[in-house]
Amino acid sequence: MGGCKAEEKAGVGEDWCYPFGNKDTLILKNQKKSPLVLRMVVLGMSMICGIFICTMCVKQIGSDSWSRIVKIEVGEQSCNKSAVLPSEVQFVHYPQPVTYSRIECMCNPVRFFAIISSQRSGSGWFETLLNSHMNVSSNGEIFSRKERRSNISSIIKTLDMVYDLDWNSSASKNECTAAVGLKWMLNQGLVANHADIVDYFNRRGVSAIFLFRRNLLCQLVSQLANNHDRYLKQLNGTHKAHVHTSYEANILAKYKPRLNASSLIWRLKQADDYTRDALENLKNMRHITIYYEDLIRNRTKLLDVLDFLKVPRRKLVSRHVKIHTKPLSEQIENWDEVYNTLNGTQYESFLNADYRI
Ligand SMILES: *[C@@H]1O[C@H](CO)[C@@H](O)[C@H](O)[C@H]1NC(C)=O
Ligand SMILES: *[C@@H]1O[C@H](CO)[C@@H](O)[C@H](O)[C@H]1NC(C)=O
Ligand SMILES: *[C@@H]1O[C@H](CO)[C@@H](O)[C@H](O)[C@H]1NC(C)=O
Ligand SMILES: *[C@@H]1O[C@H](CO)[C@@H](O)[C@H](O)[C@H]1NC(C)=O
Ligand SMILES: *[C@@H]1O[C@H](CO)[C@@H](O)[C@H](O)[C@H]1NC(C)=O
Ligand SMILES: *[C@@H]1O[C@H](CO)[C@@H](O)[C@H](O)[C@H]1NC(C)=O
Ligand SMILES: *[C@@H]1O[C@H](CO)[C@@H](O)[C@H](O)[C@H]1NC(C)=O
Ligand SMILES: *[C@@H]1O[C@H](CO)[C@@H](O)[C@H](O)[C@H]1NC(C)=O
């Protein structure tokens, strides 16, 4: 069984070769009473079988799909799942990463999640909070790279790596990860492939955390300021979407964008419709909806998220410092014009933003 030995060396482990080996010896032992011809036939068949299986072993080295299938079976068999509610079975997983071993945590169930959001909705901050939990790994905005979202097969290949715990990022945790996921913006291939992605999420039992911002005017100001810094790189020549000190926050907040009043309503409506349509298309998967404003007002909302992910409650921390802390009227260059444009419209409430939010 040289093939099996080689498989061991590949780091996959011997656990799946033994069942085949045992079967061979079993057949050989049972032939005592059979006539010679039958004995020879059985022996020959078992040899052919053995050779075939070993060839398969050798062939499959390097291709992780086969070993993954076998490993999932082994993992699923040996973990005691009696405590898992029937309604939960779909969402409880026992991944067997190829790049490392989960060793003693092999039977710690893992939940799959995705933070679904849009730019400048506090998702960066939210993700650092989640990642401060010892059992949560959220691997960042991995679909910001175009080639990973260029078609549905690239998307699925990338998601598979994340959910098989084989995605290495600064957020990757130890073998006792209990929830693994990523941050995904609607415009990063998510809306474009929504039907296939809903299928995938339901098939693999992925839960979604919808994180959005109610005040689209604040979001627009944040977007414009962020775009401005993308070009100007105000912090010693580097662009920063998030900052860790109030000194840096003050520098970035100095810029007051001028909004185009004639297209403002159209722009807000477009953003609103885009999110509304997206959520309508994505609603048929297990999800929780969180608003940035609610999180800021009431941090205990975070515990709802931990409960949703079924990870132990813990205090979560982030080093992110909020950039815009002044009243909206002091953050917009042409505030009067913007006020008059939105006053009396369906977007009027955006004008009275609580500036701490
Ligand atoms: C599985 O766990 C349950 C308690 O959660 C326990 O009662 C049961 O004996 C365990 N089964 C095995 C096979 O260990
Ligand atoms: C999907 O995109 C990847 C990366 O851009 C590319 O290599 C692959 O050929 C594409 N597959 C299909 C079916 O278009
Ligand atoms: C993940 O990447 C870090 C550095 O980027 C490296 O030190 C570590 O060994 C990698 N882990 C795995 C499992 O590949
Ligand atoms: C969380 O991580 C710790 C330390 O790695 C581990 O002991 C614990 O079992 C994990 N909890 C869950 C729910 O997996
Ligand atoms: C820029 O660099 C200077 C000196 O190298 C340092 O004192 C300052 O804190 C840096 N500023 C920022 C915003 O990183
Ligand atoms: C403002 O928006 C209108 C309508 O979309 C456009 O025609 C105009 O060029 C814009 N003005 C500026 C300064 O961008
Ligand atoms: C904060 O949120 C929690 C959980 O959603 C809720 O039970 C509680 O009433 C909220 N507290 C306040 C002051 O709104
Ligand atoms: C806003 O509109 C209302 C009428 O819809 C008007 O009474 C009020 O003066 C307006 N506010 C400002 C600051 O122009």
**What is the pLDDT averaged over residues 195-207?**
96
Both tokens of 194, joined, read 């929504």
**What is the pLDDT averaged over residues 2-23?**
27
Flag whether 9 is in a domain.
yes
Name the residue range of residue 104's domain.
91-352
Flag whether 160 is in a domain.
yes
Q: Which residue has the tokens 């070009």?
A: 231
Domain boundary among 49, 77, 105: 77
Same domain as 141, residue 226: yes
Same domain as 137, residue 18: no
> Distance, CA 105 to ligand 7 centroid (Å)?
34
Flag whether 217 is in a domain.
yes
Flag whether 101 is in a domain.
yes
Same domain as 95, residue 72: no
> Distance, CA 154 to ligand 2 centroid (Å)?
6
For the CA of 97, the closest atom of ligand 3 is 13
pLDDT range class, residue 14, cuts 50, 70, 90: very low
> Which CATH number does the domain housing residue 237 bear?
3.40.50
Both tokens of 293, joined, read 């404003």
C-beta separation of 163 from 179 below 8 A: no
Same domain as 329, residue 247: yes
> Distance, CA 50 to ligand 1 centroid (Å)?
36
Closest ligand relative to 351 C-alpha: 8
**What is the pLDDT averaged over residues 172-188?**
90
Flag whether 64 is in a domain.
yes
Q: How many distinct structural domains can be found in the chain? A: 2
Q: What pLDDT, on the 0 to 100 scale, is given for residue 355?
A: 56
Both tokens of 121, joined, read 């909705």
**What is the pLDDT averaged over residues 336-346?**
94
The phi, psi pair for 197, rounded to 5°, reads -75, -40
**What is the pLDDT averaged over residues 150-166?**
94
**pLDDT (tens digit, 9 = 90+) per residue, 205-243?**
999 999 999 999 999 999 898 888 887 788 888 888 888
Both tokens of 9, joined, read 């060396």
Distance from C-alpha of 189 to C-alpha of 94, rounded to nearest angstrom: 28
Same domain as 234, residue 135: yes
Same domain as 344, residue 225: yes
Same domain as 280, residue 145: yes
- Look at residue 135 and tell me whether its pLDDT is greater than 70: yes
Both tokens of 58, joined, read 């050798």
DSSP per position, 89-109: GGG-B----SSS--GGGTTS-
Q: Is 131 helix (H, G, I), strand (E, B) or coil?
A: helix
Distance from C-alpha of 324 to C-alpha of 220, rounded to nearest angstrom: 12
> Which residues are paired to 321 by β-bridges?
243
Amino acid identity for residue 27 in this structure = I
Distance from C-alpha of 255 to C-alpha of 235, rounded to nearest angstrom: 13
Q: What pLDDT, on the 0 to 100 scale, is given for residue 238?
A: 83
Distance from C-alpha of 357 to C-alpha of 298, rounded to nearest angstrom: 11
Domain boundary among 77, 107, 132: 77
C-beta separation of 1 from 54 below 8 A: yes
**What is the pLDDT averaged over residues 164-171?**
87
Q: Which residue has the higher pLDDT, 63 or 260?
A: 260
* Binding pocket residue ranges, ligand 5, CB within 6 Å: 235-236, 248
Kindly state if the Cβ of 146 falls inside 6 Å of ligand 2: no
Side by side, the strands of the sheet bearing 136-138 are 136-138, 179-185, 111-117, 206-212, 287-291
Q: What pLDDT, on the 0 to 100 scale, is given for residue 176?
A: 87
Instruction: Give, rounded to a whole angstrom, the gap between the first and last alpha carbons of the chain.
Output: 65
Q: Give percent of the chain above pLDDT 90.
A: 51
Q: What pLDDT, on the 0 to 100 scale, is given for residue 38?
A: 63
For the CA of 298, the closest atom of ligand 7 is 1
Same domain as 67, residue 128: no
Q: What pLDDT, on the 0 to 100 scale, is given for residue 61?
A: 47
Flag whether 24 is in a domain.
yes
pTM above 0.75, yes or no: yes
Same domain as 225, residue 310: yes
Flag whether 86 is in a domain.
no
Determine the Cα angle at 126 with ends 120 and 130, to 5°. 155
Domain boundary among 77, 108, 125: 77
Q: Which residue has the tokens 């419709």?
A: 273
Distance from C-alpha of 54 to C-alpha of 338, rounded to nearest angstrom: 73
Kindly state if the Cβ of 343 falls inside 6 Å of ligand 8: yes
pLDDT range class, residue 107, cuts 50, 70, 90: confident
Same domain as 280, residue 196: yes
Flag whether 82 is in a domain.
no
Q: What pLDDT, on the 0 to 100 scale, is given for residue 43?
A: 61
For residue 49, how far is the Cα from the chain centroid?
42
Same domain as 118, residue 205: yes
A 10 A CB-CB count for 123 gives 24
Which residues make Cβ contacts (< 8 Å) with residue 58, sequence separation at least 6?
2, 3, 6
Same domain as 116, residue 48: no
